[in-house]
Amino acid sequence: MNSCTPTRRRLSAYLDGELDPTGRGEVEAHLLACERCRKLKGELSAADSWLLSAPVPEPTVADTAAFLNRLHKKLDVRCPQPVSLPAASPRSRFSIALPWAFAGFAAMALLVVVPGLHRSSSPEPRMELASARRAGPSGAGPSAAGDVTGAPAALEEASGTRKNEARVASVAVPSPAASARPASHDPLVATQAQLAKLEEQIRELERSVVTFTAQARLESQARTQEFASRRFVPWRDLEPSR
């Protein structure tokens, strides 16, 4: 019995042609001598034949076309093709990364400038700002804040609202010393979330445009058909008879 085990373990590999010449020779030698293993070999082959005898539903060409259509829709929504420069280096990730970097930078600048302009016009946010400043790290010196907010401050000076804005900016863009802040207050994270939301809205709009176009096409087709099926009285019949 024991002598059968090595053969039985390798029977499938033998049937599948996956044994090296030595292994094949050993199995064949045993099969010649052992009727039980020969029988098992036959039964395993029969098992394969039985499995293969059951037909699988075979998609037709039309099925494949419909399948591909469905796949395209899925890809368009979840895997939109990146807008990239003419195929010089299609693998380059810059086509995606660069606009994102620019968008991030632009939004950072907006965050610094826009909330400042808004806040200076209403008293409540200023109180918020004061408490935020009190709660903030005391070690952040004015010079550090000045370095970070240098560029926005220059912009704001031109608009004549520098005093308030400089304070706002010092909160909006914390000094490098305060880098251990919670993620929820990170303007970059907030900006990215906003951008993601905007992107989702754009996608939503794109989808509704597609739906709208499809509906419009269907409606126009229906109208054309309806028009074609009508019986019109020819013009000449409408003319007053002479």
Partner 1 sequence: MYEAAAAAELPDEQLADLVSQGDRAAFDSLVRRHHRRVFSICYRMTGSAQEAEDMAQETFFRLYRHRESYQTGRRFKAWLDRICVNVCLTNQQRVRRLGPVVRLGQTDASSAAGIATSNPESLDPEARAGVSELIRSVQKIVTTLPTPYRAALVLRVFGGLSYQEIADALECSIGTVMSRINRARIQVRNHLKDQQ
Find out whether 22 and 35 touch, Cβ atoms under 8 Å. Answer: no
Question: What does each C-alpha distance from 64 to 70, 159, 164 come to in angstroms?
Answer: 10, 62, 64
For partner 1, the binding residues in 56-75 under the rule CB under 8 A are 56-59, 63-64, 67-68, 70-71, 74-75
214 touches partner 1 (CB under 8 A): no
Query: In the set 4, 29, 46, 218, which binds partner 1 (CB under 8 A)?
Result: 46
Q: Cβ of residue 3: shortest distance to Zn ion, in angstroms?
A: 7
3-state SS class at 131: helix
Q: What are phi and psi of 87, to 5 degrees?
A: -30, 30
163 touches partner 1 (CB under 8 A): no
Find out whether 103 and 195 touch, Cβ atoms under 8 Å. Answer: yes
32 touches Zn ion (CB under 5 A): no
Binding mask 89-128 for partner 1 (x = CB under 8 A): -xx-------------------------------------
CA-closest candidate to residue 11, choices 49, 35, 40: 40
Place of tokens 């939004």: 107
Containing H/E element for 91? none
- Choose the one of partner 1, Zn ion, none that binds residue 190, judging by a C-beta under 5 to 8 angstroms depending on kind: none
Alpha helices in 54-135 (DSSP H): 61-78, 94-119, 123-135
Q: What are phi and psi of 93, to 5 degrees?
A: -90, -5
82 touches partner 1 (CB under 8 A): yes
Q: Cβ of residue 46: shortest distance to Zn ion, in angstroms?
A: 18
Binding mask 2-21 for partner 1 (x = CB under 8 A): ------xxxxxx--x-x---
Summarize as ranges the residues that interact with Zn ion (CB under 5 A).
4, 34, 37
Summarize as ranges the residues that interact with partner 1 (CB under 8 A).
8-13, 16, 18, 40, 43-44, 46-48, 50-59, 63-64, 67-68, 70-71, 74-75, 78-79, 81-82, 84, 87, 90-91
